[in-house]
Structure 1
Amino acid sequence: MSSTTMIETAGDAGLIASPDITELPLWKQEGATPFLRIENITKKFGDFTAVDNISLDIYKNELFCLLGGSGSGKSTLLRMLAGFESPTSGRIIIDGVDMSGVQPWKRPVNMMFQSYALFPHLSVEDNVGFGLKREGLGRAEVKQRVAEMLDMVQLGHLGKRKPSQLSGGQRQRVALARSLVKRPKLLLLDEPLGALDKKLREETQFELINIQEELGVTFVVVTHDQEEAMTLATRIGVMNNGIIVQTAEPHDVYEYPNSRFVAEFVGSVNLFEGRIIEDQPDSVRINSQEAGAVLYVSHGISCAPNQKVHVAVRPEKMRISREQPDQQENCVCGVVEEYAYMGGLTVYRVRLASGKEVRVTQPNTSREASERLTWKEQVYLYWDLDSSVVLTA
């Protein structure tokens, strides 16, 4: 996904590829042409609107994730890209060509389903090569392309096996190889890792990224798993009730959510309701009865005087201590209700005087159990002035 530039090293006369960190990604380049353009797409099923007037640009070589819960419209949008559903209104343009009326099998697109949909009676090689044979390619070319793709997904030694003789992760890679062997311009993946266990899913995520980077194919992935989207994506489109509520890089979706929905859906967050008492161009102060304190946020917002807002603070941004810190703002007091030791970190649930429950996660840097907090201890929670964000929606 990164571009490279050639530089000469002092140690030899050759040239090596070095990342060009100055080049912006395509979606940040003014005037860049999108590879996939979705224009005002709406899909209705009777009186129900599954996808509501979505417009979105996706660029060449992106690994774009559509993230949302059940019923958010993400799979319906994916099926329209594939041609399995027709939009009620709007257009889909792929590589400059309007896909209106273009049949699924004529689009420069392939789709990998959550179920993998492998033929149980065919070998791995025959599953991967099935589409090539249907296109009438010669036996030698089919064999070569299948072998190359199986080697890429590290299954070259299992080509003669049947799907029933493979693990879940291996079947997933067969399905991926079959989807890519026809060299589509755009690959659509519907919950591609949903059937794998947690450890295998994490390992396969990085394999998927490496394969996508090696082939340079544009991927659009549908998932309900926030961690999966954060790991895979160049950008994320968060969906809710048929619309995309935020499109941004993973870091920005997590650190700068644009609404309460995004803040709560992507990761864990503490929200404190309050009202603006001081509004400066580069900062705001909020009086929060829930927090029992004045909260300071080091960025400005556009809002009315005394407007009700929410301050969002991620649990890992908070610090927890038995001793009261020196800072007055962004400091609240409560009692430990519950805690869970999870090896690398401990999760605390702290009840404030208002009754508000706050979640705090802390890394376990010490091996001594005696230093950890326990039930019913009074504690102070505090965080840096730039660790929170104000949400008006």
Structure 2
Amino acid sequence: MTSSQVIDMQSSTAAATKEVPLWKQDGAEPFLKIENVTKMFGEFTAVDNVSLNIYKNELFCLLGGSGSGKSTLLRMLAGFESPTSGRILIDGVDMAGIQPWKRPVNMMFQSYALFPHLSVADNVAFGLKREGVGRSEVKKRVAEMLDMVQLGHLGKRKPNQLSGGQRQRVALARSLIKRPKLLLLDEPLGALDKKLREETQFELINIQEELGVTFVVVTHDQEEAMTLASRIGVMNNGVIVQTDEPHDVYEYPNSRFVAEFVGSVNLFEGQVIQDEPDSVRISSVEAGATLYVNHGISCSPDQVVHVAIRPEKITISHNRPNQSENCLQGEIEEIAYMGSLSVFKVRLPSGKEVRVTQPNFTRDMGERFTWNDKVFLFWDEDSSVVLTV
């Protein structure tokens, strides 16, 4: 092997190591450590013994419904609330007793909280001026930040002269200009319409990658979390019930709650009739069929479980497939044409309703279906997940 080949191999190995995210690297030190944090309001437990590690430069999303505890947890990170018990460490420093303005943290609120009487540039510069930063330095950093959020030409305008998306970017620039180690974002895109929200999500990702600041985003929007996050922590009743990368949260939910909360899912209750190390068979009255999954589970004999299958994993056809398991029969009750896909609601003989989505690859929509059609629904053995909780 030549010396150039050795160098190329070393470079490839280094690149591969660099691409491994910190949370998958043995011994990697978390940038933000939440250790057994509980928050009580009287007798009500808003956050219940939460432990979580978030790593440097990560864009982490806390995803949950109203009352799940996600915003309370965010406020404790910011210092607006104090934990009843437990510890929060940022960059190795215990935040106990440290006031919000002394933390290496900034927070962007859902309302943006811009000063209406100040220009865009003065809104962004506000924090620097309060710290006594020199005028020339303020001017330079404001210009750089406004250029980064593509608002350099609007520095003299007032907030009421901007669109919702532009105000959102002003708030982001103001939050980032003091170069915090950690930026907390509370429902940052909630006030935007759907199209603008989708566009801004990618802008937010690009800005985060460019600056290398650790972001923690609170949202109730599953699609937003899936688009933005390097990892997602799903919260329910004050507890983080699953922490994973977006793909794993969606494809491998660890409970019925996560499966139903993140995306759309069909759940079939059934009883385990065959449990092998690498597969399981489930008899389901709801489905009217035997369901086969090619992965093993940990369960007791004859345990009642739920089989989760996403709507897009199901094939719908007028013709009977060449398989007896994972094959259902039903009648189409509802059809919705959504442009890029069509949604079918199929009623099984048991009364169970199954949701199926089919992408519209071509203009003629392929095999045509209409209301009251008798159809077959089927899927591959590796497309579903068995849930025991």
Q: TM-score, normalised by structure 2?
A: 0.96
Alignment of 1:93 onto 2:93? no
Alignment of 1:81 onto 2:77? yes
1:368 to partner: Cα distance = 2.3
CA distance in 2, matches of 1:247, 1:95: 21
CA distance in 2, matches of 1:18, 1:174: 41
Question: Residue 238 of structure 2 is aligned with which of 234, 238, 242?
Answer: 242
Q: Provide closer, same or farther for how the CA distance between residues 228 and 369 of structure 1 changes in structure 2, counting only shifts above 3 A.
A: closer
Name the counterpart of 1:282: 278
1:149 to partner: Cα distance = 0.3
Question: Residue 303 of structure 2 is aligned with which of 293, 307, 313?
Answer: 307
Amino acid at match of 1:386: D
1:371 to partner: Cα distance = 3.4
CA distance in 2, matches of 1:336, 1:356: 12
Name the counterpart of 1:159: 155
Unaligned 5+ runs, structure 1: 1-6, 9-15
Amino acid at match of 2:194: K
Name the counterpart of 2:253: 257
Name the counterpart of 1:30: 26
Q: Show the 5 A alignment for 1:1-393.
A: 20-22=15-17, 23-368=19-364, 371-393=367-389
CA distance in 2, matches of 1:99, 1:164: 37
CA distance in 2, matches of 1:254, 1:293: 25
Amino acid at match of 1:149: M
Cα distance per residue 1:305-361 (max 9 Å; x no partner): 000000000000000000000011100000000000111110000000100000000
CA distance in 2, matches of 1:311, 1:370: 29
CA distance in 1, matches of 2:27, 2:14: 23
1:365 to partner: Cα distance = 2.2
Amino acid at match of 1:292: G
Q: Secondary structure at the match of 1:371?
A: coil
Cα distance per residue 1:240-289 (max 9 Å; x no partner): 00000000000000000000000000000000000000000000000000
CA distance in 1, matches of 2:12, 2:240: 37
Q: Secondary structure at the match of 2:322?
A: coil
CA distance in 1, matches of 2:131, 2:65: 37
CA distance in 1, matches of 2:270, 2:13: 49
Amino acid at match of 2:80: F
Name the counterpart of 1:4: none
Q: Secondary structure at the match of 2:375?
A: strand
Amino acid at match of 1:338: E
Q: Larger deviation: 366-375 or 21-30?
A: 366-375
Cα distance per residue 1:169-199 (max 9 Å; x no partner): 0000000000000000000000000000000
Q: Larger deviation: 311-320 or 362-371?
A: 362-371
CA distance in 2, matches of 1:250, 1:272: 23
Q: TM-score, normalised by structure 1?
A: 0.95
Unaligned 5+ runs, structure 2: 1-6
Q: Larger deviation: 359-368 or 193-202?
A: 359-368
CA distance in 2, matches of 1:62, 1:18: 22
C-alpha RMSD of the superposition? 1.5
Q: Provide closer, same or farther for how the CA distance between residues 161 and 274 of structure 1 changes in structure 2, counting only shifts above 3 A.
A: same
Cα distance per residue 1:127-152 (max 9 Å; x no partner): 00000000011101111111100000
Name the counterpart of 2:3: none
CA distance in 2, matches of 1:298, 1:127: 57
1:370 to partner: Cα distance = 7.9
Amino acid at match of 1:348: F
Question: Aligned residues, how many?
Answer: 380
Q: Secondary structure at the match of 1:203?
A: helix
1:369 to partner: Cα distance = 5.8
CA distance in 2, matches of 1:224, 1:369: 33
Cα distance per residue 1:188-225 (max 9 Å; x no partner): 00000000000000000000000000000000000000
